Copies of this chain bind each other. A is one copy, B any other.
Amino acid sequence: MFPKKISPDAIFQAIKLVKQRSPLVHNITNFVVMQTTANILLAVGASPIMANAIEEMDDIVSMADALVINIGTLYSSLLDSITKAQDIALQYQLPVIFDPVGAGASKFRTETAKNILNRGVSILRGNASEILSLQNNLVNNKGVDSCHETEQALEIAIDLSNQYNCCVVISGHKDIICYKNLTYYLTHGTPLLTRVTGMGCSATALIGAFAAVVKDLSLASIYAMATLGLAAEKAEKLAQGPGSFYPILLDTLYKLELADFVNFHCELA
């Protein structure tokens, strides 16, 4: 049964598991954030690999502990690699985390995102505009940035979660996590996260690291969003702007202590 209350200690134990097991997180991801995502995963102790070639999908997915798919700089020949990676991940019952970057910004991305969902994912994470576009074909003229609040996407997130039988995470000012008719709200983080590229993509990758060591998909998602959000709040206090925020965030993720989670707050709707 799902816990009514999530304790700081539960999150911290999960982080300790990530550091101990150093799960191999395979990222099929975009070229803008590859470095950032790898550094975020390394900071929490996970072992990232980035591989897009279809020739090595079989070998790499079959030994990975989680698969992260991100369509932020999609190109046509990547579609076959994604399909193959999903097939193998499903066969090995690997958690598949999907980030539909820019869904709504082009029909190419929106359609590809729907195809990926149809083949099966464990967790879908996007901003509100991306989540909305996956059902109502909304066009987002802000590209990869959101032009909606997360609450506006809540109903569609619940629908998507039921339709595709996956956990749905909408990230934003307020994070929302929906799965199996339960909805959780988290309000950690800082607007600085929207002024550094790849922070959403890094949230998705972190969910991958936690899903590799925590079986429950909602809990893995909550732990990851809480970790990023609370580390970001701590980093913001020391930062002078988005430039210094990013290295301080990595330092903070690297040195997380139980005390960093005492302010954790999560609401069950």
Contact = CB atoms under 8 A, between A and B. Distances in A.
Interface of A: 22, 24, 26, 30-36, 38-39, 42-43, 47-53, 55-56, 59-60, 63-64, 72-76, 102, 105-109, 139, 141-145, 194-198, 239-244, 246-255
B251 A242 contact: yes
Given A47-B143, A49-B143, A102-B51, A38 B243 contact: no
B75 A53 contact: yes
**Complex A-B, nearest 10 residue pairs according to Cβ-Cβ distance, in ascending order:** A243-B250, A241-B251, A243-B247, A56-B106, A49-B143, A38-B197, A59-B106, A241-B254, A55-B108, A56-B108
Given A51-B73, A51-B106, A24 B244 contact: no
A175 to B, nearest CB: 20
A254 B240 CA distance: 9
Contact of A50 (B32, B109, B242): B32
Copies of this polypeptide in the complex = 3
A48 B101 CA distance: 13
A66 to B, nearest CB: 12
B251 A244 contact: yes
Contacts of A43: 195, 241-243
Given A108-B56, A197-B35, A198-B35, A255 B241 contact: yes
27 contacts: A22-B142, A24-B143, A31-B50, A32-B35, A35-B197, A38-B198, A39-B197, A39-B242, A43-B195, A43-B242, A47-B144, A49-B102, A49-B143, A49-B144, A53-B73, A53-B74, A53-B75, A53-B76, A56-B74, A56-B107, A56-B109, A59-B105, A59-B106, A63-B141, A64-B143, A195-B254, A240-B251
